[in-house]
Chains A and B, each alone.
Chain A
Amino acid sequence: MNSPESTQVANLQDSKEKKPRSLQAFPAKVFHWVNIISLTLMLMSGLQIYNANPVFGGREGWHIPQFFLLGGWLAGGRHWHFAAMWVFSLNLLWYGVYVLVTQRWQHRFVGKNDVKALQAGKNPKRKIYAWHRIVYTSIIPILLLALFTGLGMYKPAQFPWIVECFGDWFALRVVHFASVPLVIGFAIAHSLLSLKVGGERLVNSMLWDEML
């Protein structure tokens, strides 16, 4: 039973054994999870759309097996692609604002010290940490490029200047499609580097701690 004395003792113990703070800021973890899910939806539905193309892949070149796809057919792929694009892009937007407002880019993303560590450093762990930061920083321009080229393919009449940036329609499509191997390669490199740098503790800090 909760007598006044036992509650006081419990409160004292609580303040002594404070839970350890997570390595990651809560907004970063939210962004990370929403990005994983929405990017997966974009990738799988995007490949569903790609599969329908009779000129560049799909019905003509590499045909992707249905296991990797989302939507079932072209219309279904488009439904998911143009639904998930809202989650994906708005998530990227608020996170960008958050990074700028908190100035996270000064210490949480790749910086001059990482480049110096790679060039002149002697500590191998510091070098691997530098690679880790380089890799997870580079996903941001990759995602933004996928968004930009996607917008050009979605509305080429209203945003013709986007198509112009790449020269023609074919170049635009190739760059948009290139985000597939880039993102997959990134996901593999990022997972392995995170494990190498900080082991399960680092991975848990981003994925699971204080999230469940």
Chain B
Amino acid sequence: MIPASTDKPSEEQGASRLPGETGDEPALIERARGGDLDAFDELIRRHQERIYGTIYHMTSNHEDAADLAQETFVKAWSALKGFKGNSSFFTWLYRIAVNKTINFLKSRKNKRHMSLNDLDAAGENDPLLVELISNRHPRREAVLAELKGKLNTALMKLSEDHRLVVTLHDIQGMPHDKIAEIMGCNPGTVRSRLFYARQELQAWLSDYVK
């Protein structure tokens, strides 16, 4: 389960370890570089949820996300010898995932929209969602389904770069500087993209967020 994070991740978070990063990770990486698949299994367990989550929110499809997440780890395994440790393993892994996902999205002709039927029970009962819907709509279920659809359609309308910053920051709770590192740009660019992406989303979802 993706750990909950604050709505506005602070830059200070960037200095601390991201979820999944622990003190023994360098030793695991070293063992994996030497061909130890058990060590690599452990690295997969630590990072799979966030990697899968990012790809899932970018592609809007579980099967594509599962496949791309697998490809990400296979590529990481084969490229592990080239990992110099200049960035954290997590950032390096994220770059592989993001590149694979963006290439996939560029090659995909017909965009499919995700089915949000797999929103879990905790999500449906989330106080934020309850607050957003129940105050003004008696037909809660219907409105919930409509909101899910609107939200995802709006996300899929964003450009890939804008969707990526929204996914990493507003959904995954990642700080600006980490996102900048992953995307290969400066934190100011990340903030700017995030601002314009939110503006677009707010306009498309005006019935719900104003």
Are A and B subunits of one complex?
no
